[in-house]
């Protein structure tokens, strides 16, 4: 799957084949002891990277590069 | 010279750092269930290490006005930002409200002239960026490129210093760069949505990209540019709310089951995303940094949400009068509550934290009760007009009143110097000026400056399209200023159908109260109730009438009814406090009065009620504090000096004597005035 879309509408259109509610970041964060955001032990979700701001942007870009 | 003056003061704290975070429309009613479920861990930590409270908003509940009040400590009549839009300087149309229309200094200007640096990101009404000591990325940083503008560029007007504009542009997150996984936490069943007929996921993506851009800019600046104040404003909770709050549980009437299923997680997701952003931002500050998180108002999220159609037509009707405040810092108390805070207090509190004086022309107060050790802030007459050359202000030439600018252009058109814009453009400009004038009037109502609203209302009612609102508001103001005959004339001149409306009946009731006729007021209020008004305001006024008629049980019933509709209701709580006092229940009176002043600090009647209850319980020292607070707010000075004299007598005779002296002098003045009056010839002679 391409990680960056050409137009705004394609963002949500491309979501269709990848849907899996279980993969939602929030499904894993109900435990108050779990740190969310930039410093999770495993690979952070794309939304966590978005929340991380500039550091996350770089990581998202890197992830996009890897997936090409 | 001014800079030196500040720096030589022992109380000045140049090493201090404050992170000020604004979440537009954040509300404890949404947050508390998420905190209880451990779903906002970053905010939970902040609260645990500091204080939390309600933050009272101002009227009208419009974000550009409110965020400017937050940044200046002043109401709109002083800061001059009166709406979302304003006429363009060349009168060719209207545009977003501009920082050049602000009439006073913001916190970043005051800090700048004191040698402190500010980084400000996304704050409302900050475009064009002021040349401050630090970095400013304005709210217009998020504006999508216009036709002809290269994508990925940011107007140099939106960034100070302009040299940072290119770097700032690279921090903007575009909607196109979002991935499917970014939306799923908000809409887990995205796959079931036909995007040709439902644009809500796209709207969500646009809002998410905007807020992610602010976060990117904030996290970049917080690391790379030195600062004493870092101010970041996020508008997403309000923007998500206006689109998606109707789908938040419980399901509202008018929301289909399918829509509810699809979008019920969006608002919870939005808050949790803000918690994630908060967590990220806090990674960049040390324990010595004071963190202040605020919202300008709340947002109805439960059963009091307006119906779907009504919320689209009147977005302001979705806003609740209390936002949130949460602050944590080495100087501040831990795991405590803050009561009676207002958005006007943010700037005075920040100045106090930096050890800088508060302008006496500011309308707010510092939260001294939040400090661990007693603090006595310095005061100066005003920050206006001093140290301006170092404050990072726009030049005088560029600062202007937009309405005046539009009027000047209109004059040039009339003189034939320039061509007239199309009639619809002129109409749009006129509407904008009228709308902003209306907002200014609303900002003045109920404040110590209310008298300024009367000439503005007269201007509005003199214009061609008089609105019912302006006429009735003028009547309401005239009642408050004792111009009862004029008010009655206005009300009686309204159409018979209008006279029967609950709004006009409420005004007739006000008039009757002013004429000291509670029985007539009660009749009008009962008529308003029959006309369908079930608003807390009506119940509170009914309670007021029953109190004056000494019908304590009826008063108790309506105040309780009022609290059922709106639990955070200072007037109803104060009314109940009075009922409890009259019924010989001082403990309950104290409890209710405390709740009232906890919601709104500037509530002299409730402080008086609190003092009375405490005095009856024999808690004289606490009663003195409450009475002194009420006195400081100008409430019934003669009565309060008397009571304070009595209470001080056994513990501090000197203070008792000073209060007695004030009472005696006041009596002497009254006798003297009466004597003079009796010697004057009457006007009829």
Chain A residues within an 8 Å CB radius of B194: none
The C-alpha atoms of residue B295 and residue B26 are separated, in whole angstroms, by 5
Residue B540 lies in domain: 534-625
More confident residue, B677 or B504: B504
The C-alpha atoms of residue B323 and residue B296 are separated, in whole angstroms, by 6
User: Nearest residue of B to residue A12 by CA position?
Assistant: B180
What is the model's pLDDT at position B419?
A: 61
pLDDT at B129 over 90: yes
Element at B52 (helix H, strand E): strand B51-56
Residue among A21, A25, A57 minimizing CB distance to B216: A57
In a domain, B162, yes or no: yes
Instruction: Single out the residue in B368, B385, B402 at which a domain terminates.
Output: B385
Chain B residues within an 8 Å CB radius of A25: 181, 185
Paired sense of beta strands B229-234 and B118-121, if any: parallel
pLDDT digits (tens, 9 = 90+) for B499-538: 778 889 999 999 999 999 999 999 999 999 887 767 888 9
What is the model's pLDDT at position B535?
A: 84
For chain B, give the percent of residues with pLDDT over 70: 93
- From its phi and psi, is residue B116 left (phi > 0), alpha (psi between -120 and 50) or beta? beta
Looking at the structure, do residues B545 and B664 belong to the same domain, yes or no?
Answer: no
The C-alpha atoms of residue B316 and residue B326 are separated, in whole angstroms, by 24
What is the model's pLDDT at position B568?
A: 85
pLDDT band at B140 (very low <50, low <70, confident <90, very high): confident
pLDDT at B464 over 50: yes
Nearest CA-CA distance, residue A43 and chain B, Å: 14
In a domain, B657, yes or no: yes
Q: Which two tokens stand for residue A67?
A: 């997936």
* DSSP tag of B60: S
What is the model's pLDDT at position B101?
A: 93
Query: CB B202 to CB A12 under 8 A?
Result: yes
Looking at the structure, do residues B241 and B354 belong to the same domain, yes or no?
Answer: yes
The full DSSP string for B163-192 is GGHHHHHTTPPPGGG--HHHHTTT-TTGGG
* DSSP tag of B289: S
Looking at the structure, do residues B64 and B157 belong to the same domain, yes or no?
Answer: yes
Looking at the structure, do residues B165 and B250 belong to the same domain, yes or no?
Answer: yes
* B183 close to A (CB below 8 A): yes
Assign B389 to helix, strand or coil. helix
The full DSSP string for B345-359 is GHHHHHHHHTTPPEE
Looking at the structure, do residues B605 and B656 belong to the same domain, yes or no?
Answer: no
User: Nearest residue of A to residue B192 by CA position?
Assistant: A16
Nearest CA-CA distance, residue B260 and chain A, Å: 17
Query: CB A53 to CB B277 under 8 A?
Result: yes
The C-alpha atoms of residue B100 and residue B131 are separated, in whole angstroms, by 12
Paired sense of beta strands B85-87 and B94-96, if any: antiparallel
Looking at the structure, do residues B569 and B658 belong to the same domain, yes or no?
Answer: no
Nearest CA-CA distance, residue A25 and chain B, Å: 6
Return the bridge partners of B359, or none. Answer: B380
Residue range B618-638: mean pLDDT, rounded: 91
* DSSP tag of B681: P
Nearest CA-CA distance, residue B116 and chain A, Å: 25
Assign B236 to helix, strand or coil. helix
More confident residue, B682 or B347: B347
* B41 close to A (CB below 8 A): yes
Q: Which two tokens stand for residue A46?
A: 């794309």
Query: CB B190 to CB A16 under 8 A?
Result: yes
pLDDT digits (tens, 9 = 90+) for B37-92: 999 999 999 999 999 999 999 999 999 999 999 999 999 999 999 998 888 888 78
CA distances, B244 to each of B164, B311, B319 (Å):
35, 11, 14
Looking at the structure, do residues B193 and B314 belong to the same domain, yes or no?
Answer: yes
* B151 close to A (CB below 8 A): no
pLDDT band at B194 (very low <50, low <70, confident <90, very high): confident
Q: What CATH number is associated with residue B545?
A: 1.25.40.10
Interface A-B: count of C-beta contacts within 8 A: 144
Closest CA to B353 of B3, B19, B604, B122: B19
pLDDT at B188 over 50: yes
Q: Which two tokens stand for residue B346?
A: 């943010």
Question: What's the domain count of chain B?
Answer: 3
Chain A residues within an 8 Å CB radius of B184: 15, 19-21, 23-24
Q: What CATH number is associated with residue B24?
A: 3.40.720.10
The total number of residues shown for chain A amounts to 68
Looking at the structure, do residues B646 and B539 belong to the same domain, yes or no?
Answer: no
User: Nearest residue of B to residue A38 by CA position?
Assistant: B280
What is the model's pLDDT at position B5?
A: 52
* B277 close to A (CB below 8 A): yes
In a domain, B496, yes or no: no
Query: CB A47 to CB B175 under 8 A?
Result: no
Looking at the structure, do residues B672 and B565 belong to the same domain, yes or no?
Answer: no
Q: What is the 3 state secondary structure string of B192-203?
A: HCCCCCCCHHHH
> Domain map of chain A by residue range?
35-68
Asked if residues B307 and B253 have their Cβ atoms less than 8 Å apart, the reply is yes
CB atoms closer than 10 angstroms to residue B514:
17
Query: CB A47 to CB B185 under 8 A?
Result: yes
User: Nearest residue of B to residue A28 by CA position?
Assistant: B39
What is the model's pLDDT at position B7?
A: 57
Chain B residues within an 8 Å CB radius of A47: 181-182, 185, 273, 276
Instruction: Single out the residue in B363, B385, B407 at which a domain terminates.
Output: B385
Looking at the structure, do residues B619 and B667 belong to the same domain, yes or no?
Answer: no
Residue among A6, A9, A51 minimizing CB distance to B195: A9
Range of weakest confidence among B464-468, B516-520, B581-585: B464-468
pLDDT digits (tens, 9 = 90+) for B153-178: 788 889 999 999 989 998 999 888 88
Chain B residues within an 8 Å CB radius of A4: 176-177, 179
Instruction: Single out the residue in B385, B401, B426 at which a domain terminates.
Output: B385
Mean pLDDT of chain B: 89
Residue among B38, B201, B223 minimizing CB distance to A31: B38
Range of weakest confidence among A39-53, B239-253, B584-598: A39-53
In angstroms, how far apart are the furthest CA atoms of chain B?
88
What is the model's pLDDT at position B48?
A: 94
Closest CA to B315 of B296, B299, B301, B294: B299
Rg (CA), chain A: 13
User: Nearest residue of A to residue B215 by CA position?
Assistant: A53
Residue among A9, A15, A57 minimizing CB distance to B190: A15
pLDDT band at A20 (very low <50, low <70, confident <90, very high): very low
The full DSSP string for B468-482 is HHHHHHHHHHHHHTT
Residue range B418-434: mean pLDDT, rounded: 79
* B176 close to A (CB below 8 A): yes
In a domain, B515, yes or no: no
Q: Which of A1, A14, A50, A67 to mutate to test the interface with B (most CBs of B within 10 A)?
A: A50
The C-alpha atoms of residue B469 and residue B451 are separated, in whole angstroms, by 17
Chain B residues within an 8 Å CB radius of A10: 176
Q: Which residues, 6 or more positions from A32, have their beta carbon under 8 angstroms from its beta carbon?
A: B38, B41, B44
Asked if residues B302 and B29 have their Cβ atoms less than 8 Å apart, the reply is yes
* B205 close to A (CB below 8 A): yes
Instruction: List alpha helices for B481-616, DSSP H.
Output: 484-493, 496-499, 502-514, 518-530, 536-548, 552-565, 570-582, 586-599, 604-616
Looking at the structure, do residues B312 and B379 belong to the same domain, yes or no?
Answer: yes
Looking at the structure, do residues B542 and B674 belong to the same domain, yes or no?
Answer: no
Q: What are phi and psi for residue B393, nearest 5 degrees?
A: -90, 160
Q: Which residues, 6 or more positions from B341, have their beta carbon under 8 angstroms from its beta carbon?
A: B53, B54, B55, B56, B325, B367, B601
């Amino acid at each position: 799957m391409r990680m960056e879309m050409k137009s705004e509408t394609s963002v949500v259109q491309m979501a269709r084949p990848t849907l899996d509610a279980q993969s939602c970041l929030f499904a894993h964060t109900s435990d108050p002891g779990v740190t969310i955001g930039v410093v999770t032990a495993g690979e952070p979700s794309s939304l966590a990277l978005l929340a991380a701001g500039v550091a996350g942007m770089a990581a998202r870009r890197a992830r996009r590069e890897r997936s090409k | 010279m001014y800079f030196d003056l500040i720096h030589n003061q022992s109380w000045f704290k140049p090493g201090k750092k404050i992170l000020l975070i604004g979440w537009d429309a954040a509300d404890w009613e949404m947050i508390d269930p998420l905190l209880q479920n451990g779903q906002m861990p970053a905010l939970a930590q902040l609260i645990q290490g500091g204080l939390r409270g309600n933050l009272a908003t101002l009227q009208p509940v419009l974000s550009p006005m409110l965020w400017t009040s937050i940044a200046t400590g002043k109401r709109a009549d002083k800061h001059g930002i009166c709406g979302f839009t304003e006429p363009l300087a060349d009168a060719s149309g209207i545009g977003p409200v501009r920082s050049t229309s602000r009439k006073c200094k913001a916190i970043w200007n005051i800090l700048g002239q004191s040698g402190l640096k500010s980084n400000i990101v996304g704050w409302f009404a900050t475009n064009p960026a002021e040349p401050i000591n630090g970095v400013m990325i304005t709210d217009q940083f998020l504006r999508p490129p216009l036709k002809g503008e290269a994508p990925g560029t940011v107007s140099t007007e939106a960034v100070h210093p302009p040299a940072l504009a290119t770097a700032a542009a690279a921090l903007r997150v575009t909607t196109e760069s979002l991935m499917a996984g970014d939306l799923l936490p908000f809409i887990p069943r995205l796959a079931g949505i036909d995007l040709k007929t439902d644009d809500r996921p796209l709207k969500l993506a646009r809002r998410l990209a905007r807020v992610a851009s602010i976060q990117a800019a904030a996290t970049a600046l917080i690391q790379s540019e030195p600062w004493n104040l870092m101010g970041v404003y996020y508008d997403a909770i309000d923007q998500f709310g206006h689109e998606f709050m109707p789908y938040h549980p419980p399901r509202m009437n008018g929301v289909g089951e399918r829509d509810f299923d699809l979008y019920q997680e969006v608002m919870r997701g939005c808050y949790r995303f803000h918690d994630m952003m908060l967590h990220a931002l806090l990674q960049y500050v040390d324990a010595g940094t004071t963190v202040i998180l605020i919202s300008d108002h709340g947002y109805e999220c439960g059963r009091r949400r307006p119906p779907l159609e009504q919320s689209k037509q009147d977005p302001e009707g979705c806003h609740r009068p209390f936002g949130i405040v949460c602050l944590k810092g080495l100087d501040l108390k831990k795991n405590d509550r803050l009561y009676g805070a207002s958005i006007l207090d943010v700037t005075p509190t920040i100045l106090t934290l930096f050890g800088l004086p508060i302008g006496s022309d500011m309308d707010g107060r510092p939260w001294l009760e939040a400090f661990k050790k007693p603090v006595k802030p310095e005061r100066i007459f005003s920050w206006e007009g001093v140290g301006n050359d170092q404050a990072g202000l726009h030049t005088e030439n560029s600062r202007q009143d937009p309405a005046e600018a539009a009027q000047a252009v209109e004059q040039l058109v009339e003189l034939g110097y320039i061509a007239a814009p199309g009639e619809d453009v002129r109409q749009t400009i006129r509407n904008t000026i009228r709308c902003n004038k209306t907002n200014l009037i609303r900002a003045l109502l109920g404040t110590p400056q209310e008298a300024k609203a009367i000439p503005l209302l007269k201007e509005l009612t003199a214009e061609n399209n008089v609105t019912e609102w302006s006429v009735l508001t003028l009547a309401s103001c005239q009642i408050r200023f004792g111009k009862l005959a004029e008010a009655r004339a206005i009300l009686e001149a309204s159409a018979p159908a209008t006279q029967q409306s609950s709004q006009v009946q409420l005004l007739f009731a006000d008039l009757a109260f002013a004429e000291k006729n509670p029985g007539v007021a009660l009749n009008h209020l009962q008529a308003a109730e029959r006309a369908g008004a079930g608003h807390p305001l009506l119940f509170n006024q009914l309670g007021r009438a029953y109190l004056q008629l000494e019908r304590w049980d009826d008063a108790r019933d309506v105040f309780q009814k009022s609290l059922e509709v709106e639990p955070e209701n200072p007037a109803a709580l104060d009314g109940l406090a009075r009922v409890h006092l009259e019924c010989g229940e001082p403990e309950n009176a104290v409890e209710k009065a405390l709740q009232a002043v906890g919601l709104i600090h500037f509530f002299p009647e409730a402080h008086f009620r609190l003092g009375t209850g405490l005095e009856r319980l024999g808690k004289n020292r606490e009663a003195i504090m409450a009475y002194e607070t009420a006195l400081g707010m100008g409430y019934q000075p003669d009565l309060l000096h008397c009571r304070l004299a009595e209470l001080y007598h056994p513990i501090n005779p000197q203070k008792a004597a000073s209060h007695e002296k004030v009472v005696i002098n006041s009596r002497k003045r009254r006798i003297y005035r009466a004597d003079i009056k009796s010697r004057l010839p009457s006007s009829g002679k």
